[in-house]
Every structure is written in structure tokens, then in C-alpha cells.
Amino acid sequence: MEPGHALAQVAHYIHLNPARARVVKAEKLESFPWSSLRLFGRKDCPAFLVGDTILAESGGLADTPAGWRSYRAYLAALAEEQPRKRGEKFGRLSRGWMVGSAEFKQALKKDLVTRGANLGQAQLLGTGAVRELREAGWEERLSKAARALKIDLGRLPARKSAPEKVALAAVLKAATAVSNGWLAERLAMGQPASVSQFVRRFRLAGKEREPRFQAAATKLRKFPGVAGG
């Protein structure tokens, strides 16, 4: 099986089997003697045990003892049967779900968006991860919409209801689940309710039927991005 999400899911399933069989508690999975989990993160870990995919698909963890402790905590959260307790465990894990410089975080978010990261998977890492992935997806699509409509994002007029801003807001609303709040802040369009009003007037004027708008909306719908974003 090639590296990626599917391989990581198989690894999670295998590592969790002792807990599902009630042989050991989920918090003590590393104590199960017939599992490779106890070997990861150790200096004497066999060379054939490569955990890059497992760590990458569990929140971008580092291949260090601390990283593998976090992975075991991740498995324990997956194994939790009570929704409230599971949410609490993932909430603790989600604090600082990305560690690094601003440039590193931006590059990671862009990579996740380009790969079509699933928001359902990101939900496991907490609301902060979901929000950042979703907003990164909106930013990517805003840039693509601006190129399609030949609008310079760096030189938008100051007026809240400027035609360029309204066109961008309208095309994102037509092709994505973007929030009015994000559009209002990103495009400096005033209050979220104002965005809704501006887009409504745009639609009533029939501007959504213009060929250039339709082409831009189609491109956005086909653009690979965060699922659900």
C-alpha cells in the first residue's frame, strides 16, 4: 500500500486492536508485547519500521520520542467511546496542532489545501485546525477568483461596496461555503450583513449570469481544496 491517509488508517486500526479486544487499555497500548507500536520512537527501533506516514497523517508529528507519545495519545483519543471524553482528549491534542514559524505554518496549510484535506479528518485535531484549513482554502480560491475576473487583490478600492469586492464575494458565495464574516474582514466590506446585501443586489441585477462570472464560478468549483470549504 502506498504512503498516505489509507496506509495511516490501517496502522491506526492495527495499533488499536489490543484495546478493542480489551487486552490492554488504550492509554497503555505501547505495553502490548506483540505490537510494533512499542518499538517506534526508540533508539533500537528496527530500520524496516518507518513511521513517516503514520506521523504525517496524525497531525504532522515529529519522529521523536515526544512525537510518538503524542501519537499514542492520539490513538487513545480515537479509542475513546464516550463522545464527551473523546472531545476533551482531542481538545487537548489540538492545542498547537501546528508547531513552527509563520512561514512553515502557511506552507503546511497550503499543502493540505492543495492535497484536498478533509475537514472531517481535521475535526479530530480540534476546531482551530478546522478553521485554519477552511480559511486557507477560501484564501486560495479568492486568489483564483481574482485571476479569473482579472481583479488585482492588492489594489482593491476602499469603498465597501466596490464592484470588484462584490464580484469576488458573489463568486465565492456561489462556489464555496465561505462565510460572510470572513469575506467582510478579508475584503473590508463592513459588517457580515452588508456582504449579504451587496451580493443579493449583485444577483438581482443579473450579473451572476454574465459569462465571465459563470466561468470563474466553474473554475472555483473544480479547484481542489479543503473538502467542505
- Could you tell me the pTM of the whole model? 0.49
Mean pLDDT of the 164-179 span? 93
| Residue 37: CB atoms within 10 Å | 22
pLDDT digits (tens, 9 = 90+) for 44-74: 788 887 888 888 777 677 788 888 888 888 7
% of residues, the chain, pLDDT over 90: 27
Closest CA to 139 of 193, 196, 97, 178: 178
Tell the residue number behind the cell numbers 449583485, with chain if given: 202
Closest CA to 99 of 135, 73, 141, 67: 67
What local confidence, expressed as pLDDT, does residue 153 receive? Answer: 84
Closest CA to 121 of 219, 15, 229: 229
Spatial contact of 127 and 142, defined as CB atoms under 8 Å apart: no
What local confidence, expressed as pLDDT, does residue 127 receive? Answer: 45
pLDDT digits (tens, 9 = 90+) for 113-136: 444 444 444 444 444 455 666 777
Alpha carbon separation from 53 to 66, 81, 133 (Å, rounded): 16, 25, 20
- Please determine, for residue 5, whether its predicted confidence score (pLDDT) is greater than 60: yes
Using CA atoms, how far apart are residues 28 and 73, in angstroms rounded to an integer?
10
Alpha carbon separation from 18 to 36, 40, 79, 144 (Å, rounded): 12, 17, 11, 47
Tell the residue number behind the cell numbers 499514542, with chain if given: 72
Mean pLDDT of the 89-115 span? 48
Mean pLDDT of the 74-84 span? 66
- The DSSP code for 159 is S
What local confidence, expressed as pLDDT, does residue 37 receive? Answer: 82
Using CA atoms, how far apart are residues 205 and 95, in angstroms rounded to an integer?
46
CA dihedral 138, 90, 97, 31 (to 10 degrees): -140
CA dihedral 44, 46, 50, 52 (to 10 degrees): 0
**H helices of 123-186, where?**
127-149, 163-175, 180-186
What local confidence, expressed as pLDDT, does residue 106 receive? Answer: 53
| Residue 18: CB atoms within 10 Å | 21
